[in-house]
Structure 1
Amino acid sequence: MSVLIKGGTVVTADHTFQADVYCENGKIAAIGENLEVPSSAEVVDASGQYVMPGGIDPHTHMQFPFMGTVASDDFYTGTAAALAGGTTSIIDFVIPQPGQRLLDAYNQWREWAEKAAADYTFHVAITWWDDSVHEDMQTLVHEHGVNSFKHFMAYKNAIMADDETLVKSFRRCVELGAMPTVHAENGELVYQLQQEMLEKGLTGPEAHPLSRPPFVEGEAANRAIQVAQAMHTPIYIVHVSCKDSLDAITRARSAGQRVYGEVLAGHLVIDDGVYRSEDFDVAAGHVMSPPFRSKEHQAALWNGLQGGNLHTTATDHCCFCRDQKAAGKDDFTKIPNGTAGVEDRLAILWDEGVNNGRLTLNEFVAVTSTNTAKLFNIYPRKGSISEGADADIVVWDPQGTRTISADTHHMNVDFNIFEGRTVKGIPTHTLSHGKVVWRNGELNAERGAGRYVKRPAFAPVLEAVARQTELNEPQPVKR
């Protein structure tokens, strides 16, 4: 199988140039002009378009059992929709129940993911601690290519990791060459504020953001960063939604600490007014954690993305249909937390970022693909247009338009948080493993074609952090 992408402008995270791209046997085989290729090669005309690395979404939850139900997109429907939007790889989450062996949960998620249409890999959550967790982390890193572990600082009485678990897990990450990641919200504060809202008779979705104000995120982000500093490890903060947590990241980075931030497409363009809708379906449809914030926080997030203190863009794709959201009709704490977006992320970032001058072409590629590949150690296999890289490519028409709607999207959910928005800039072709799986509005995703991607440990980086920290520590006084 071979494909020649002809006549386009190649855009990478650091370079823009005119070239054709030839793909063979799932890899990028040649880049240049006037390439000699077999006459049997399929030709994709990219004239007037950009040829970019396929998007990598570092934060999705396909088929996730959560809050008494299961996310409506499974690994096939969710990754197929991703391909339609130009995203060719996802990093999903294995989330063990407290007391469940990590390896048992990992094996379950691997089984669910066998139907994936696009490539996938996993973060693994640490939801409890004992000697088996310590042991399984090593097996996951050394045998299964897991190099990141997730910690929920929220969801008390469920999957929340306490400070003891954070310390022990972060230390283990250093030993294994893995990156700790955190969902930063103070779970105890959230729980207490939720009870306060209910006691006041605030039971609808409008109470959701009131129970999770920015300071609960800022406190948790700052605490996680301090724990990471004490344990001498880099740290990755997922779905940064407000100025409070961004400020914590910025302070740490300005002091030389390796802290990385992720922002969701939705948090960049949707404000908290959605929770005040009189239509329960609309308000509940936007319930996710952290919640959508005011426009002031949106402006800060854009500044963080432009200024380099936020590094990746994601979706936290975890979708629930209207009837699932209705479980919280009389109690907002029972509304399943999550929204969709894996199909729309690139278009939203392009329309709001590139078209409005907030992002350059190269910055767009960096924050939607390359930075994730580098941070999680799969670059240049992913996130690059280079010879030998996986032929996961999106051909992008900057003049094309699409009106986003639940009636026409490919995600398996009956609600879209970007409903009615017309975006300028869309994918005309998506290639996965060198095969054209999206062509001018026609989706040809193949069930089970996605491959599991192992991510090597990056111990040398972590060891360098530890060495630098030791140099900065006070030495004992000789007497």
Structure 2
Amino acid sequence: MAVLIRGGTVVNADRAFCADVLCSGDKIVAVGENLEAPAGGTVIDAGGQYVMPGGIDTHTHMQLPFMGTVTADDFYTGTAAALAGGTTTIMDFVIPDPKQPLMEAFHTWRGWAKKAAADYTFHVAVTWWDESVHADMGTLVREHGVNSFKHFMAYKNAIMADDETLVKSFRRALELGAIPTVHAENGELVYQLQRELLAKGIRGPEAHPLSRPPAVEAEAANRAIAIAGVLGTPVYIVHVSCAESLEAIARARAHGQRVYGEALAGHLVIDDSVYNNPDPAYARAFVMSPPFRSSHHQTALWQGLQGGNLHTTATDHCTFCAEQKAAGADDFTRIPNGCGGVEERMAVVWDAGVNTGRLTPSEFVKVTSANAAQIFNIYPRKGVIQAGADADIVVWDPEATRTLSSATQHSKGGFNVFEGRTVRGVPTHTVAAGRVAYANGDLRAEEGAGRYVERPAFTATSAT
């Protein structure tokens, strides 16, 4: 069925202009003035609104087995929530257990994701190394459209990649035309600081940020960037949360190195005071890694987005209910790490970015979709409103307001880290692969409607 979006202002990363947008099937087929409405099709009146590419969340964890439990949102509920917030594609993570074959884990995640309501794709984590991992990386790139591999520099005794694994995996990614991504925290330092805090009797959620200070993140970011620099591979740093990590990225980029940085919506607007709330259950809800930081780090992150040293915004959507978080009631190291936000990201970044003058609407498109599509090689299929692109579109009312709350969210986490925040600028319609999936508060997500998105390799230095 055709969909015509009429009378809006199309906003792409390079410019904004008045135009209608016609979709047929799962593609945009025309962008121009005075397009004719299709017989029997759907017409969306976008007068006074912006028409933008659907959001791409570069960092989510749906149905993730982690720290002895599984996230509350599966691939259906999580992607349905994403559609309600204007995000039409998620980039999730396949995370093999130590010694688990990468291909085995990949097929498990693909099975879980069949129920997704929005398009999805995967980064695949390298959590260990032998020749089978080397071979599986090649299979994933050549046969399954994976062009990014994740490396956890944290979580000692679990999924942490040591320096040998980083070097070998980075080199292999370069051979294959894939990009390494890293969770930058020094896992050994985190482990030692956790032990010291527990020994001192500091066992509540207030200990979490103390065990992961900015220097721990900055050291790992500098190390990952140095390894990538020696090997000549690009590198993407996920969830940059502090000024020191941003400085490492900016310094490397100033010297010509291809380093990309991701900021989370939560890190942009929430500070570390949440960990000192007198209600431990409330404070536990904010436990994620890296933790929320003091306000001067938020200022730095916004400057990173404005200055082009941070390129994408994401959520690290990884939801756990209060009962799951209570597993760490007597030991903060046992609190499942993760927060939500896939539904709120676009509105939060618009409200705190565009409404404050930090970002223009076109810059908003850059950091919510276009840059992600370009960095991960799915542009111009995604991230732009033009003929031939996927019909993934959000119609955005810049004047409408919404108060964010767990009472009205579609996510199943049971808590909202943006609780009570009123945002100005929200989606009125979300079109995903040519289907109206959200319209003026009516969520029309369809289980299984999401498609797996293959991402082609970049130019490779070796075909072996």
TM-score normalized by structure 2? 0.99
Q: Which runs of 5+ in 2 are unaligned?
A: none
1:362 deviates by 0.3
Asked if structure 1 preserves the Cα contact closer than 8 Å seen for 2:48 and 2:397, the reply is yes
Classify the secondary structure of the residue corresponding to 1:387.
Answer: coil
C-alpha distance in 2, partners of 1:58/1:229? 23
Structure-2 residue corresponding to 1:202:
202
| 1:219-298 matches, cutoff 5 A | 219-298=219-298
For 1:35 and 1:156, the matched residues in 2 are separated by: 57
Q: Could you list the per-position Cα deviations for residues 374-425 of structure 1 after superposition, in whole angstroms to 9, with x for gaps in the alignment?
A: 0000000000101010000000000111100001100011100000011000
Quote the residue 2:185 is aligned against. Answer: 185
Measured after TM superposition, the shift of residue 231 of structure 1 is: 1.0
User: One-letter code of the match for 1:187?
Assistant: G
Contact 1:179–1:236 at 8 Å: present in 2 too?
A: yes
1:424 pairs with 2:424: yes
Structure 2 equivalent of residue 60 of structure 1: 60
| Equivalence map 1:386-397=2 (5 Å) | 386-397=386-397
| CA distance in 2: counterparts of 1:122 and 1:38, whole angstroms | 35
Tell me the alpha carbon deviations over residues 274-311 of structure 1, each in whole angstroms, 9 at most, x when there is no partner. 00001111100000000000001111111111000000
Query: Counterparts of 1:33 and 1:303 in 2: how far apart (Å)?
Result: 36
Structure 1 residue 41 displacement after superposition = 1.9
Structure 1 unaligned regions, length at least 5: 464-479
SS of 1:380 mapped into structure 2: coil
Partner of 2:96, secondary structure, is: coil
Displacement over 3 Å in runs of 4+: none
Counterpart for residue 352 of structure 2: 352
Q: Distance in 2 between matches of 1:419 and 1:339?
A: 12
Tell me the equivalent position of 2:311.
311
Task: Report what 1:470 is aligned to.
Answer: none
State the 1:344 CA deviation. Answer: 0.1
Q: Secondary structure at the match of 1:459?
A: coil
| Residue aligned with 1:8, SS | strand
Answer with 328-337 or 451-460: which moved more.
451-460
**CA displacement 1:318-355 (0-9 Å, x = unmatched):** 01000000000000000000000000000000000000
On the 8 A contact 2:329/2:335 being kept in 1, the answer is yes
In 2, the alpha carbon distance for the partners of 1:218 and 1:42 equals 50
The letter for the 2-side match of 1:220 is A
Q: Give, in angstroms, the shift of residue 86 of structure 1.
A: 0.1
Any conservation in 1 of the 2:37–2:43 contact (CA below 8 Å)? no
The residue number in structure 1 matching 2:437 is 437
Task: Return the alpha-carbon distance in structure 2 between the equivalents of residues 265 and 353 of structure 1.
Answer: 10
> What whole-Å deviation, never above 9, does each CA across 1:413-455 have from its counterpart, x for those lacking one?
1100000011000000000011111000000000000000000
Q: CA deviation at 1:181?
A: 0.3
Structure 1 residue aligned with 2:166 = 166
Distance apart, 1:64 and its partner CA: 0.2
User: Are the counterparts in 1 of residues 4 and 38 from structure 2 also a CA contact under 8 Å?
Assistant: no
| Distance (Å, rounded) in 2 between the aligned partners of 1:446 and 1:63 | 18
Tell me, in whole angstroms, the C-alpha distance in 2 between the residues paired with 1:140 and 1:259: 23
Are the counterparts in 2 of residues 174 and 459 from structure 1 also a CA contact under 8 Å? no
SS at match of 2:115: coil
2:328 paired residue number: 328
Q: Secondary structure at the match of 1:117?
A: coil
Q: Which amino acid aligns with 1:395?
A: V
Once residues 88 and 396 of structure 2 are traced to their aligned partners in structure 1, the CA distance between those partners, rounded to angstroms, is 14
What is the alpha-carbon distance in structure 2 between the residues aligned to residue 390 and residue 92 of structure 1?
A: 19
Shift of 1:36: 3.0
For 1:132, the equivalent position in structure 2 comes to 132
Give the % identical residues.
72
- RMSD over aligned Cα, in angstroms? 0.8
TM-score, normalised to structure 1, is 0.96
Q: Give the corresponding residue for 1:377.
A: 377
The residue that corresponds to 1:408 in the other structure is 408
CA shift, 1:38, in A, is 2.5
